[in-house]
Amino acid sequence: MSSRFCAIAPLLLLVLPVLSGCQGEQSDSAGSDAGTVASPLLPLVVYSARKEHLIRPLFDRYTALTGQPIEYITDSAGPLVARLQAEGSRSPADLLLTTDAGNLWYAAQQGLLREVTSSELERVPGSLRDPDGRWYGLSVRARTIVFATDRVSPEELSSYEQLADQTWSGRLCLRTAKKVYNQSLVATMIASIGEQQAESIVAGWVANLALPPFSNDTKVMEAIASGQCDVGIVNTYYYGRLKQERPDLELALFWPNQSGKAPLDRGVHINVSGGGVVVHSARPKAAATLLGWLVSPEAQTLFASLNQEYPVDPEGEVSETVAGWGSFKRDTINLSVAGEFQGAAIRLMDRAGYF
Ligand code: FE
């Protein structure tokens, strides 16, 4: 274990259940820990914005397979990134896991992640990872259209752009523009259809809103189900969760942008939860090995199904529930644009009155 880990160990005692071996030194090059006998391998430390119940089964499995213990803390992406910045080279973290390419891009931009490559990580499609190898997508979620099945027929829907048509006046519900998921959606629209066109679409959405934007996707769907609006845009796993709790709700998903003239046929906007090796990790090879295992077929099935998501490999196995939603063409734009155009997207939404 690195000495910097020991230096801040008292702080981490609050959140990390087991700390041992601070009398020894372990790194990828050293490979052994002279000071401890309890465990042949010292823990890898993961900072995770993915919730505990979604990652713990994977960590348990990895430990069972390899003997490599894993310790982790969970928090929102913002605080975890701020923590990595504050800790700097004294950080005990080896791996950062977080949702949304916009967040991963930001962490990489801040110099918090290091470049890693491996044959395992090559399994991640090029559009779902940083071109410089600082972060990799680990699961895919689609941000798609949801509609009220008793008031809307799927034939009335076609694309994100079409939700700006007058047909949907007073019938659209959206989540707040402050959420990174919507910033990433608009950022990829800017990259695909240009800023001017994207702005007129977003202004059209705002004009069609039935109610002010909601704080989360579930509230959007509840408003649709209760008849306050007819259509919305949500992440697929929130739909899965809500339908599991309330199968009676008359809601269904629609896959937009599947056909038509380019760029209208670009596919459904997808995003990832993903991870990267922390720049100051004392054990980057071990951290990259864990990251690589997370994209193995076994881990991918578990990683995706725990949150009703899709594996990064479009051919990968999905749960029965997710399969029931039907298949769709994914937008294959490189998700780095979610970060590169994030600032432009925020300013655009502000100008369009989308808050
Ligand atoms: Fe989410």
Residues 101-112 have pLDDT tens digits of 999 999 999 999
C-alpha of residue 141 to centroid of ligand 1, in Å: 9
Q: For residue 20, how far is its CA from the centre of ligand 1 (angstroms)? A: 34
Do the Cβ atoms of 310 and 318 come closer than 8 Å?
A: yes
| CA 133–ligand 1 middle distance (angstroms) | 24
Identify the pLDDT of residue 41: 87
What kind and span of H or E run contains 97? strand 95-99
- Per residue in 18-58, pLDDT (tens digit) is 333 333 334 454 333 334 444 578 999 999 999 999 999 99
**What's the predicted TM-score (pTM) here?**
0.88
Assigned token pair, 337: 């644009």
Q: What mean pLDDT, rounded, does the chain reach?
A: 91
For ligand 1, the distance from its centroid to the CA atom of residue 233, given in whole angstroms, is: 13
Q: How far is the CA of 10 from the centre of ligand 1 (A)?
A: 32
Please state the rounded mean pLDDT for residues 319-338. Answer: 97
Residue 6 has pLDDT above 60, yes or no: no
Q: Which one is predicted more confidently, 146 or 18? A: 146
Please tell me the predicted confidence (pLDDT) of residue 15.
42
* Residues 300, 302: Cα–Cα separation, whole Å: 5
Q: Which residue type, as a one-letter code, is found at position 133?
A: G
CA of 21 to the centre of ligand 1 (A): 36
* 3-140+271-318 maps to CATH 3.40.190.10: yes
CA 266, CA 233: separation in Å to the nearest integer? Answer: 17
Q: How far is the CA of 100 from the centre of ligand 1 (A)?
A: 9
Residue 269 above 70 pLDDT? yes
Judge whether 325 and 176 are in contact, CB under 8 Å: no
Residues of the chain with CATH 3.40.190.10: 3-140+271-318, 142-269+323-351
Residue 28: per-residue pLDDT: 55
CA of 191 to the centre of ligand 1 (A): 23
What is the Cα–Cα distance from 299 to 321, expressed in whole angstroms?
18
263 preceded by a cis bond (ω within 30 of 0): yes
Compute, in angstroms, the gap from residue 342 CA to the centroid of ligand 1. Answer: 18
Quick: pLDDT tens for 280-326: 999 999 999 999 999 999 999 999 999 999 999 998 999 999 999 99
Q: Above 90 in pLDDT, residue 96?
A: yes
State the burial class of residue 261 (Cβ atoms within 10 Å of its Cβ: 0-12, 13-18, 19+). exposed
User: What fold does the segment set 142-269+323-351 form as a domain?
Assistant: D-Maltodextrin-Binding Protein; domain 2 (3.40.190)
Q: How far is the CA of 273 from the centre of ligand 1 (A)?
A: 9
Instruction: Give the closest residue to 106 by CA, choosing from 351, 284, 354, 341.
Output: 341
